[in-house]
């Protein structure tokens, strides 16, 4: 049965914590999954959560800590000694441990690493800290099962048993030469059916997908998705096998990137959450609001240049919100589709072909929307024919322009090494509002004359 965290259970835990009844708490939470422990910790105050982390076994709390919100985990770590933090790191895979310790100050990092009893584990963590977090080196774990091509099957099995003790999940068995260079992978079926005297070089599979330590994380995700991989080996510049990346690490990365892109598309320039301080939230939102304000001033200036239309064709101004809204909506739709294509690497074909396709699509959608708008305007508002033609031509022109802006700005940003998610949200909406109003009144002036 799936665990359900209730208010009554939280109150019970808080009561036992207040009584410092550690034995009952251990018995109560001993069989809990680490994700359930993490959920419980986030419902407690910092003092009570810290008490539980210190009380429970590190094999549970180490996993639970990695599930916590970054800010909440940081506050708990502030209440732990270097030795207590080191005890948690001892139970973690090296990739999680490196992510964990990277959040600490350098002085505390050195103190914690010096407390780790397993020197090899500590060295692996230090090695991972030198890689950028958005590269294969920053995502990989050192724990894996590797065998040498010169070993016999019988010797290989003995060595695999020894290595597997330090590996949580064995996704693949990798084969290297005597220098440690990646040669291929080993099928468990082939290993079990081969003669004990056979050499690994006779049965391993030389074809294996791999990435370099400096490969960007997005490229790693693309490769693993394309070839449906649960894990992928990582090599250094010399081709030496140095680690592996598992699917759970990639899922976490994709989730974080999606959250960043969503916030950026919504006009939030930093990674924030609802319970952050007012100052943090303001710093994240204010830059885009300032951009929208500047765009608003520009829009007002554009309208001011056509002030003479107020006297002769006041009805034009009734359609300004509609034109601006359509421009913004079309631009966001177009940019969202392009962003999706850029993210999954499915954006194929030449720029010219995409230009033609967008113009034709916008023309088709614009004609339908223009007919509906003019027909409704004539029936409900009694617009005359010439005014209706003006609105129709303006709407079609605005839709085509907004679609092209929404399509090509993300592509241009991506080619210049800028996150294309910047193209969505306030940026596209504001630029298309300005262009839409300018196009609308320019066409109206040419047709109606004022």
Percentage of the chain beyond pLDDT 90 is 33
According to the model, what pLDDT value does residue 256 have? 76
Q: What is the CATH number of the domain that holds 242?
A: 3.10.580.10
Name which of 117-131, 239-253, 308-322 the model is least confident about.
308-322
Q: What is the mean pLDDT of residues 127-132?
A: 92
What confidence tier does 326 reach under pLDDT thresholds 50, 70, 90?
Answer: confident
- pTM for the complete prediction? 0.66
Q: What is the CATH number of the domain that holds 114?
A: 1.25.60.10
Same domain, 428 and 287: yes
Residue 345 has pLDDT above 70, yes or no: no
What confidence tier does 365 reach under pLDDT thresholds 50, 70, 90?
Answer: confident
Name the most confidently modeled range: 208-222, 276-290, 351-365.
Answer: 208-222
According to the model, what pLDDT value does residue 237 have? 93
Same domain, 128 and 151: no
What confidence tier does 175 reach under pLDDT thresholds 50, 70, 90?
Answer: very high
**Cα–Cα distance for residue pair 280/80, rounded to 1 Å:** 26
According to the model, what pLDDT value does residue 430 have? 78
Which of residues 286 and 203 earns the better pLDDT score? 203
Q: Which of 187, 189, 99, 89 is nearest to 138 (CA)?
A: 99
* Phi/psi at 205 (5° precision): -100, 115
Q: Which two tokens stand for residue 8?
A: 């009554």
What confidence tier does 164 reach under pLDDT thresholds 50, 70, 90?
Answer: confident
Residue with tokens 């693309």: 222
Domain count within the chain: 3
Domain extent for 205 = 145-246
Q: Which of 6, 20, 26, 17 is nearest to 46 (CA)?
A: 17
DSSP summary character for residue 159? H
Same domain, 305 and 430: yes
Give the tens place of pLDDT for each residue, 300-324.
887 778 777 767 777 788 888 888 8
**What are the CA-CA distances from residue 168 to residues 31, 141, 250 (Å)?**
19, 11, 17
Q: Using an 8 Å Cβ cutoff, are 220 and 139 in contact? A: yes
Per DSSP (E only), the strands in 128-181 are 145-148, 173-176
**Cα–Cα distance for residue pair 91/373, rounded to 1 Å:** 65
Name the most confidently modeled range: 128-132, 246-250, 297-301, 400-404.
Answer: 128-132
Average pLDDT over the chain reads 84
424-427 long-range contacts, Cβ below 8 Å, gap at least 24? 424/264, 424/265, 424/332, 424/335, 424/336, 424/339, 425/264, 425/265, 425/266, 425/267, 425/288, 425/332, 426/267, 426/288, 426/289, 426/291, 426/292, 427/288, 427/291
Same domain, 156 and 25: no
According to the model, what pLDDT value does residue 261 have? 62
What confidence tier does 349 reach under pLDDT thresholds 50, 70, 90?
Answer: low
Q: Using an 8 Å Cβ cutoff, are 242 and 140 in contact? A: yes
What confidence tier does 115 reach under pLDDT thresholds 50, 70, 90?
Answer: very high
**Cα–Cα distance for residue pair 85/375, rounded to 1 Å:** 70
Decide if 22 is inside a domain.
yes
**Cα–Cα distance for residue pair 272/69, rounded to 1 Å:** 11
Residue 55, CB-side half-sphere exposure with 13 Å CA sphere: 22
Same domain, 283 and 370: yes
Q: Which two tokens stand for residue 85?
A: 């933090």
Decide if 258 is inside a domain.
no
Domain boundary among 71, 97, 132: 132
According to the model, what pLDDT value does residue 354 have? 74
Same domain, 163 and 203: yes
According to the model, what pLDDT value does residue 268 have? 53
Same domain, 195 and 321: no
Same domain, 150 and 92: no
**Cα–Cα distance for residue pair 429/218, rounded to 1 Å:** 27
Which of residues 378 and 143 earns the better pLDDT score? 143
Same domain, 285 and 419: yes
Q: What is the mean pLDDT of residues 334-354?
A: 71
Decide if 364 is inside a domain.
yes
Decide if 89 is inside a domain.
yes
Q: What is the mean pLDDT of residues 81-94?
A: 92
């Amino acid at each position: 049965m799936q665990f359900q965290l209730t208010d009554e259970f939280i109150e019970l835990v808080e009561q036992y914590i207040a009584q410092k009844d550690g034995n009952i708490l251990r018995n109560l939470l001993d069989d809990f999954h680490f994700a359930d422990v993490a959920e419980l910790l986030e419902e407690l105050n910092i003092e009570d959560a810290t008490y539980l982390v210190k009380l429970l076994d590190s094999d549970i709390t180490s996993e639970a800590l990695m599930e916590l919100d970054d800010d909440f985990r940081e506050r708990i770590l502030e209440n732990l000694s270097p030795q207590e933090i080191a005890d948690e790191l001892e139970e973690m895979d090296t990739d999680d441990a490196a992510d964990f310790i990277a959040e600490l100050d350098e002085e505390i990092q050195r103190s914690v690493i010096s407390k780790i009893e397993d020197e090899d584990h500590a060295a692996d963590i230090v090695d991972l800290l030198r890689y950028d977090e958005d590269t294969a080196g920053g995502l990989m774990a050192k724990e894996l099962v590797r065998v040498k091509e010169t070993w016999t099957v019988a010797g290989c099995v003995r060595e695999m048993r020894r290595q597997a003790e330090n590996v949580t999940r064995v996704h693949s068995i990798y084969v290297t030469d005597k220098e440690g260079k990646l040669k291929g992978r080993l099928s468990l079926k082939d290993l079990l059916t081969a003669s004990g005297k056979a050499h690994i070089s006779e049965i391993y599979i030389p074809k294996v997908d791999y990435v370099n330590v400096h490969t960007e994380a997005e490229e790693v995700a693309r490769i693993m998705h394309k070839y449906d991989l649960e894990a992928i080996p990582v090599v250094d510049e010399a081709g030496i096998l140095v680690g592996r990346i598992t699917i759970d690490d990639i899922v976490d990365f994709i989730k974080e990137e999606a959250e960043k892109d969503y916030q950026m598309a919504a006009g939030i320039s930093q990674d924030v959450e609802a319970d952050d301080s007012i100052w943090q939230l303001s710093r994240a939102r204010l830059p885009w609001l300032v951009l929208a304000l500047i765009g608003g001033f520009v829009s007002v200036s554009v309208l001011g240049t056509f002030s003479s239309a107020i006297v002769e064709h006041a009805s034009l101004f009734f359609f300004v919100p509609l034109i601006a809204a359509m421009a913004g909506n079309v631009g966001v739709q177009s940019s969202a589709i392009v962003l999706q294509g850029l993210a999954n690497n499915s954006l194929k074909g030449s720029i010219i072909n995409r230009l033609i396709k967008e113009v034709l699509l916008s023309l088709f959608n614009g004609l339908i929307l223009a007919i509906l708008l003019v027909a409704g305007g004539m029936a409900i508002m009694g617009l005359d024919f010439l005014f209706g033609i003006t609105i129709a031509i303006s709407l079609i022109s605005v839709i085509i322009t907004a679609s092209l802006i929404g399509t090509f700005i993300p592509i241009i940003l991506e080619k210049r090494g800028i996150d294309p998610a910047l193209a969505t949200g306030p940026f596209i909406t504001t630029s298309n509002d300005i262009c839409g109003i300018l196009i609308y009144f320019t066409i109206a002036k040419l047709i109606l004359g004022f």
